[in-house]
Amino acid sequence: MNMVAKLNQDVTPDGPDYEIVRQVIELITEDYRDQPSLETIAARLGQSPTQLQKTFTRWAGLSPKAFLQAVTLDHAKRLLRKEELPLLETSIEVGLSGPSRLHDLFVTHEAMSPGEWKARGGGLTIRYGFHPSPFGIALVMITDRGLAGLAFSDIGDEVACLEDMTCRWPNAQYVEDRDATSPYAERIFQPGRWTSDQPLRVVLIGTDFQVQVWESLLKIPFGKAVTYSDIASDIGRPTAMRAVGAAVGANPISFVVPCHRALGKSGALTGYHWGLTRKRAMLGWESAQA
């Protein structure tokens, strides 16, 4: 029986903080070439520099200046790639200590069987909830086996975001349960909660080919990036770059299964289901956290 998910509560964060942070991220990722100062950013948003610094740092876990530096570093290394140096030598270089090393051990996964995939979610109960995150409002979806979906929305687009995700598994039963999804949201976006002794379990619901691609994405180290052709080679299908790109785009567990680390052959960011601004923000955030 098909179930239509409904958003039963207002998930808009209290106060204007979320919108301010979203605008700062967008402004920095679009205008980083100008290296705007904190005072310039604050003036454009009608905020005091001190308050803006506190608000952004509280939400994003780093200061506007640190985020700007991370975005700038990412851009500089993309320029190196345009000089035809090997991608893996010039992509985002970070140390292997601290959160970056832990992240490699933080996620464990399992895949649903082909029969379960063909049932299009039949027999599954998926609980969902919306939560604030460094990258906008996060839609977290879980089953009794672990995290099954993670998507992002801007304020006002929550219903569309929910519909986009539920149509992937139309025969599942959907239950809005923010209390159940909250522990997942807290662990995903807090590097201090990334521990190898209690890894985050994710459940991959897709075709065999899609699961192969998503498993390859999980191999990309925190703070680095690869091309679609790298992924195609990794799964033993070197000529299937177009199909790989489609599978990357269909990844239902954004950020945790890091499709944002997949780049075009030239090192360009290319498309991203949840927006290029958000993709830049994720890469910058990871560089700053490492």
Comparing 195 with 284, which gets the higher pLDDT? 284
Query: Which sign does the torsion angle of CA 197, 184, 64, 58 carry?
Result: negative
pTM over 0.95: no
Q: What is the pLDDT of residues 190-230, one digit of tens each?
A: 877 777 667 888 988 888 899 899 989 888 877 778 888 88
Q: What is the pLDDT of residues 160-189, one digit of tens each?
A: 999 999 999 999 999 999 999 999 998 888
Confidence band (pLDDT; 50, 70, 90) for 103?
A: very low
Contact 223, 286 (CB under 8 A): yes
Contact 171, 159 (CB under 8 A): no
Task: Report how far residue 228's alpha carbon sits from residue 244's, in angstroms, rounded to the nearest whole number.
Answer: 7
The amino acid at residue 133 is: S
Q: What is the pLDDT of residue 174?
A: 95
Q: How far is CA 120 from the centre of its chain?
A: 24
Q: What is the pLDDT of residue 86?
A: 38
Residues 230-254: what's their mean pLDDT? 90
What is the CB-side half-sphere exposure of residue 229 using CA atoms within 13 A?
Answer: 8
CB neighbourhood size of 152 (10 A):
21
CA-based nearest residue to 221, from 105, 71, 72, 70: 105
Q: What is the pLDDT of residue 165?
A: 94
Comparing 63 with 42, which gets the higher pLDDT? 42
Task: Report how far residue 248's alpha carbon sits from residue 260's, in angstroms, rounded to the nearest whole number.
Answer: 9
pLDDT at 105 over 50: no
Range name among 41-50, 138-147, 173-182, 191-200 with the lowest pLDDT average: 191-200
Q: Which of 38, 138, 162, 259 is catalytic?
A: 259
pLDDT at 92 over 60: no
Q: What is the pLDDT of residues 53-91, one digit of tens each?
A: 888 888 777 788 878 777 766 665 554 444 443 333 333
pLDDT at 96 over 80: no
What does the DSSP assignment read for 209-256?
A: HHHHHHHHHTTSPTT--EEHHHHHHHTT-TT-HHHHHHHHHT-SBTTT
Q: What is the pLDDT of residue 14?
A: 55
Task: Report how far residue 241's alpha carbon sits from residue 230's, in angstroms, rounded to the nearest whole number.
Answer: 9
Query: Which sign does the torsion angle of CA 183, 188, 189, 195 carry?
Result: positive
**173 - beta bridge partners?**
125
Indicate if 259 belongs to the active site. yes
CB neighbourhood size of 201 (10 A):
14
How large a percentage of the chain has pLDDT more than 90? Answer: 24
Q: How far is CA 110 from the centre of its chain?
A: 19
Task: Report how far residue 272's alpha carbon sits from residue 42's, in angstroms, rounded to the nearest whole number.
Answer: 28
Q: What is the pLDDT of residue 1?
A: 46
